[in-house]
Chains A and B, each alone.
Chain A
């Protein structure tokens, strides 16, 4: 199961957070700080999996952005690692060369994309067209 997905920049600022199991808002900040500490200070040559408390963190760096996924012990780390890439590709496709600002300005849309990929802590969809379909439909709705 995926427990949470975070997107943070190199300064440790959260750019996207999604929890699939409720965490108190007060505790979120502490958790995010911890998680960021765990991942940000790792060197390039270190592996992308970190054990943190009950979770396993799978992270990937894209330029100045880190995407960190907290998973339970039984999840397949490699598949999540791929999933993160899939997610970023999706963002890239929709925003064409996605940047940190894109994500900040369009937080709600990023959430829509994410919700199409991960639901309830499980991977629901990996097909790019199907993932973007609701968002494109929405855009059309807004235009008309």
Chain B
């Protein structure tokens, strides 16, 4: 004891570490819970210590306890403390605990943001690594938003260890913060070609996951993945890529075509089973997508099926299972090729492994044909008999029913057989699927008229036999079958041989032990049977039988009147009264049979599921709109009916038709009758006089037949389903013989009781069914919508990631560039934008109308121009840079890339259409023109369009197909163009402030030299020459730098300088460092801890000929004056044999324009602004401007970040705002080559400088 006190407190706390805890738990097997609770108390004490080592030890133990299922969320704060330890050994314990127990709801997570950020930028790669790993488990939307930019930066980290982790984490970030996907995507794409295979694999993983959910957005990456697939040797990566292709091919059949060959090669060559399996899977997916119209891939299918057979035959159960799984996919589209392996699959039914048996069952579903259905089902019935577990037996049962009922009982040739199968299935003990059998019985009896007599007889026996009534059966739900049996017997009672006997069976006292809903059906159908019995005896001279029946009911029904079930009680008491009344009439010898049967006259037709849902909402009807003013109490009379209609609507279960024709009315009447018949409260008028007959035999004394249950599945007195096999064989043979005989006769009399005279079209196997399904289609409302649109889960987080990735970035989308996020500035700019734009659009719509017409014309002519240009350029398709949507905003990275000379690989890769067309560059004939045109859209949509596009390219191979497709293609082109135009117009309305920009972009990539075109084009609407804000920063023989400066939308004191570095040397450019000599006013933002003169490392290297963009953030204080900063770029040029240090000086010019941000403004706000009088004015005159007015405006918009507020003829008002919130307003007028600009701004010197810069812009051109 004394010794312990002597020991230091820290030492004592180290008494129990994780090992001790584990040992302790093992030594306290009896009172584990108690022991652990004492341990937790100790841990709580330890956590109160200041010593971080003690805390870490405690947290480590907690992690173990958490795994055992103990909640440790109370220690969340301590975990954060340990996470922020500077020692890695403790830090990792903290992160481990956090990753195990933190989640979206843990509130201390928000305390971690800065710590994580610090760890992410730690110089120790393991610090960063552990932070990334932890983040992957507990990243929340807030963390994702705050750290997205940091993680994105890490994607370009020098260490592949960090890069690969950062890339993978981005996936979680995307899920939690979808806005980050677009800004991060270019870099993610870049990582696909990372020199490190691990990073590459990570990028493939992430894109695969993304693409699987929203494949269409990733179609343009196909060429890149294709390259990877053919070059990679890493099976893990290959599997992922091949899986990705599986997701893409359904969207682009041409891709599938291209894939088949490399995939089959892989199938032949690989020894890795997992890869083989993946290839087979994707080939199947490809074949499914090609299945229409690609007949000559049977070789590939054969190959797949063959390989799968090998898998299935393998002794390895895993391979067997997967083989069957893949086989079931082929089955969907190519059932024939699977059917030939029936033997193998039936064999699998006997497998020891239940999962394999279940898979085999799945396959059987698709393998049945008219010929083998009976045989297969027989085999399954045997298995049902043998099956041990109830789950497997239930599975078998449902499969049997699925197999038989599929596609409208297509494969059933003999319904008598099917009914007897169903009856046999009722003998299954302990199945949960009674209702399934019942619904099948009902369905068949209703829809196959010819089988009714047989079905009714069988059902009567079922009712009679009573084996389903025993208590045991009731508990497990097989008694549901009685529901069907009673209904069928009642509804089709005219087919009963002895309705009285069935009636008696239905009124047995034991029935009262059935579930309520079944009893209710019993009672209701007893009434139907009663009606039948009455009718049967109506003609008889002896009315005794009829009276006996009435008496029977009167005696038995009281049992049901006492039922605890409301429904049963109501029906029974109603019917009892009815019968009593009839009895009275019978005694008076009044003929009642007619009237009583009229209660149940009419027929029910099946209604398709979802019929109600599929009734289209008529045009102009808004179901959510109020029909009346909601609260008004003084409703006028004529409004009422409408309201009633609206209220009743949802209750109506039957399909409603929009048009009411004669047939429909009749049907409704019928339906109403039926409804009335089923409604116990509805009593038809005019019951006539009746006489009553008494004396009924004591049915209670009739012994219930006990069935010998030792003989399974045999219902006494019923034909066995097996008999049908033989009978069917005979029937088929006879039929064959008959057919030979009566070859010439069109109509033949057929044998068999239930057969209908004419047997529709001959089946492919030449087997005519003994009975036909009469009511093939269930009733559907007219104009029913064909598709179900309810299968998408609105909660799927991936929905938010369905983002067009080819569209260039808007400024507002960029991730917060610097580490300090302003809470208040989440995205107000965005919202504002949207709002003001829409309002603007509304306000201006009237004014615009005039203009719109013009614009449309302009568009049209532009389309034509474009086409022509394309024709001219068709030889250069390969070099052509990827073309973007014309309405792109100016400030985008992609734009930048385009301005820079594109490398040939990227251009080729992104031109999916070109890549997909297998033929070489088309010859310069007219046919070739279609291809480049179609190449214009960077994301081709599948469908008819694509098939057309293939045509010209594959022309040389299939000359026959070319001509018809040619015609189509031009048609489609027109359509497409129209669509595009519509879209553009629509978009334009929305983003009017950009419209002048996009004029420019439309042609920016086409090159300006061929802008003089077509006489039909109005002089004024001449296309804009290309423009770029990137200006040369510095250049030497190694490197060229161009830059653009933009204000940071989200931070009023920052500007972002985007610099494109282009490697002009023959060597590798490495270790680039960008440094600027700060002035008092402008400072380069350096990472925390860096000195004021340290350079920034450019986060990439440049191979020869490649260019890339980096961004640097500067903070500025005053923005009213332009200024220049001196800077230097240092770098290492590494060629094959040497490496040299080089440097390049530059001068960074911050113009006042670069502090302006394109901001939309609508006209009345603009007017108010001008009226306010706070603005100082200034003006500028430009002489000799020889350009169309819209060019002029476009230039001001583009180069000086203005937006057009309003334009009337040759006069326009424009607006812009500085990053510090200064308003700049321009009124631009033009007349006779003179442009006058009146400007107003709240900061005169800023205005003066901006005007100077505008002047300079125009003096240059």
Contact = CB atoms under 8 A, between A and B. Distances in A.
A1 interface: yes
Nearest to B199: A124
Contacts of A47: 317-318, 320-321, 353, 355-356
Given A49-B321, A76-B277, A119-B136, A138 B201 contact: no
B165 A46 contact: no
Interface string B59-89: 0100110111111010000000000000011
B205 interface: yes
B273 interface: yes
Interface in A7-45: 14-20, 22, 25-26, 28-29, 43, 45
A107 B132 CA distance: 20
Contacts of B545: none
A68 to B, nearest CB: 14
B212 interface: yes
B171 interface: yes
A76 B354 contact: no
Contacts of B1056: none
B69 A28 contact: yes
A84 B64 CA distance: 22
A92 interface: no
A108 B278 contact: no
Contacts of B206: 122
A48 B318 contact: yes
Interface in B300-320: 317-318, 320
A104 to B, nearest CB: 5
Contacts of B473: none
A142 interface: yes
B168 A122 contact: yes
B236 A126 contact: yes
A76 B89 contact: no
Interface stretch (B96-104, B490-498, B986-994, B995-1003): B96-104
B168 A120 contact: yes
B743 interface: no
Interface in A105-141: 105, 107-108, 111-112, 115, 119-120, 122-127, 130, 134, 137-138, 141
B88 A76 contact: no
B1075 to A, nearest CB: 33
A138 B168 CA distance: 23
Contact of A120 (B126, B171, B235): B171
Contacts of A124: 164-165, 168, 198, 201-202, 205
Interface string B342-356: 000000000011111
B60 A25 contact: no
A90 B137 CA distance: 22
Given A14-B67, A48-B318, A111 B353 contact: no
A108 B101 contact: no
Contacts of A138: 88-89, 92, 126
Contacts of A142: 89
B178 interface: no
A74 B317 CA distance: 20
Contacts of A105: 18-19, 22
Contacts of B64: 104, 107
Nearest to B242: A76
B1200 interface: no
Contacts of A79: 235-236, 239, 274, 278
A43 B67 contact: no
Interface in A66-107: 74, 76-79, 81-82, 101, 104-105, 107
B322 interface: yes
A78 B69 CA distance: 30
Contacts of B164: 124-125
Contacts of B354: 46
Nearest to B17: A105
Interface of B is mostly: helix
Contacts of A19: 137
B254 to A, nearest CB: 24
Contact of B129 (A26, A74, A134): A134
Nearest to B277: A78
B274 A82 contact: yes
Contacts of B169: 119-120
A62 B318 CA distance: 17
B92 A20 contact: no
Nearest to B106: A22
B981 interface: no
A26 B73 CA distance: 12
B133 interface: yes
Contacts of A46: 317, 352-356
Given A48-B318, A82-B274, A74 B202 contact: no
B243 interface: yes
A120 B277 contact: no
B140 to A, nearest CB: 10
Contact of A14 (B68, B71, B89, B318): B68
Nearest to A51: B355
B209 interface: yes
B353 A78 contact: no
Contacts of B126: 134, 137-138
A25 B277 contact: no
A17 B67 contact: yes
Contacts of A25: 66, 69-71, 73, 101
Nearest to A22: B103
B737 to A, nearest CB: 48
A81 B318 contact: yes
Given A108-B93, A137-B126, A1 B209 contact: yes
Contact of B89 (A16, A111, A141): A141
Nearest to A78: B274
Contacts of B129: 134
A28 B206 CA distance: 27
Nearest to B237: A123
Nearest to A6: B67
B318 A107 contact: no
A122 B164 CA distance: 11
Nearest to B320: A47
Contacts of A78: 273-274, 277, 318, 322
Given A79-B239, A119-B133, A124-B164, A29 B69 contact: yes
Given A25-B71, A47-B356, A123-B236, 14 more contacts: A17-B67, A22-B104, A45-B352, A49-B321, A76-B274, A77-B274, A107-B18, A107-B60, A115-B133, A120-B171, A124-B164, A124-B165, A125-B198, A138-B89
A-B pairs, top 7 by smallest CB distance, nearest first, are A78-B274, A47-B317, A22-B103, A46-B353, A120-B136, A79-B274, A47-B321
22 contacts: A14-B67, A14-B68, A19-B137, A25-B69, A45-B352, A45-B353, A47-B318, A47-B355, A77-B277, A104-B22, A104-B64, A108-B63, A122-B168, A122-B205, A123-B205, A124-B164, A124-B165, A124-B198, A125-B164, A134-B126, A134-B129, A141-B89
Interface of A: 1, 14-20, 22, 25-26, 28-29, 43, 45-51, 74, 76-79, 81-82, 101, 104-105, 107-108, 111-112, 115, 119-120, 122-127, 130, 134, 137-138, 141-142
